[in-house]
Amino acid sequence: MNANIDRALVALADPTRRAILTRLSFGEARVTDIAAPFDMALNSVSKHIRVLERAQLVRRRRVGREHLLSVQLATLDATAAWIEAQRTQWSARLNILDELLQAEDRADARRRGRSRRPAAKKRSAR
Amino acid sequence: MNANIDRALVALADPTRRAILTRLSFGEARVTDIAAPFDMALNSVSKHIRVLERAQLVRRRRVGREHLLSVQLATLDATAAWIEAQRTQWSARLNILDELLQAEDRADARRRGRSRRPAAKKRSAR
DNA sequence: ATATCATTCATCCTATTGGATGAATGTTAT
DNA sequence: ATAACATTCATCCAATAGGATGAATGATAT
């Protein structure tokens, strides 16, 4: 499961591959078509396509001698969703932590109230 | 603007760095603390942290001799949002294309109706 | 059958990256 | 002042990734 996310993130982490996806958002295209606008050998583009394919961000449909590629939006969705989920989970943890620290502060304040001994305790960063 | 997204995606495309972010979701930590669970030299972890910092996924707060790191959730949000935006844009383009193709098909059907000459025209892939 | 076109395979080269190591820098404690 | 600690800097190394090139494979057209 996570290996897929990994492949997708790796695939998206390259500007050429993102450009290829953008190109495909205008419709199916052959390897040659995709390569045309790039100042790069056809073979290099072919390699990038394979990376996108392994990440399931792109689908290949062979028709005769040409390979027609298309974007696989679902995977892109899944990737954004994964990041968003991480964000939520991490944020939740930090909130819990913050509440704990605030409770601790209140306890400290009570103790200070009893013993008149103000101690400098720094608040954790945002 | 896009250079930031690029750095964030590159940073997220590594499992060690994602693990570091997860670690930081439990709260601020020093470089040494972050490095502890990893079977990896402190220096290597330090390098990963710099990558996360450049991508603004992590913030550093120097307090005395220790460097306290924390997750910068906003950037994570921005990254997910960027992917989601791409998805939306690309999906919209594909929808337009699909409508165009359907309109074309209907036109073909009308022409066939007038001239009795059925031509095999293949529908584009999903 | 042959030439042409579309694509991948196999290599090779270079730059970058993940990692290790030892020295250098800056901070705290004694 | 000195020792211990926290971290980075400067290198080095191996593995990987991006890119190029020429040959091989497969399909189409003549």
pLDDT recorded at residue B116: 53
Q: Is the pLDDT of residue B122 over 80?
A: no
Distance from CA of A112 to the nearest CA of B (A): 25
pTM of the model: 0.85
Phi first, then psi: what are they for A70, rounded to 5°? -145, 150
Q: Between B117 and B24, whose confidence is greater?
A: B24
Q: Is A107 on the interface with B (CB under 8 A)?
A: no
Tens-place pLDDT, residues B52-107: 999 999 999 999 999 999 999 999 999 999 999 999 999 999 999 889 888 987 88
What pLDDT digit, counting tens, does each position of A95-117 carry?
998 888 889 878 877 776 665 54
Kindly tell me the burial class for residue B21, based on how many C-beta atoms sit within 10 Å of its own C-beta (0-12, 13-18, 19 or more): buried
CB pairs under 8 A between A and B: 100
Q: Pick A15's closest partner by Cβ from B6, B73, B93.
A: B6
Q: Is B55 on the interface with A (CB under 8 A)?
A: no
Shortest CA to C1' contact from B29: nucleotide: D6
CB atoms within 10 A of CB B96: 12
Tally of CB atoms within 10 A around A21: 21
Could you tell me if A90 and B27 are in contact, meaning their C-beta atoms sit under 8 angstroms apart? Answer: no
Query: Helices A15-24 & A2-12, crossing angle to 10 degrees?
Result: 90
Chunked into runs of 10 residues, chain A (126 residues) has average pLDDT values of 89 98 97 97 98 98 97 95 95 91 82 54 39
Q: DSSP 3-state assignment of A82?
A: helix
Between B13 and B109, the higher pLDDT residue: B13
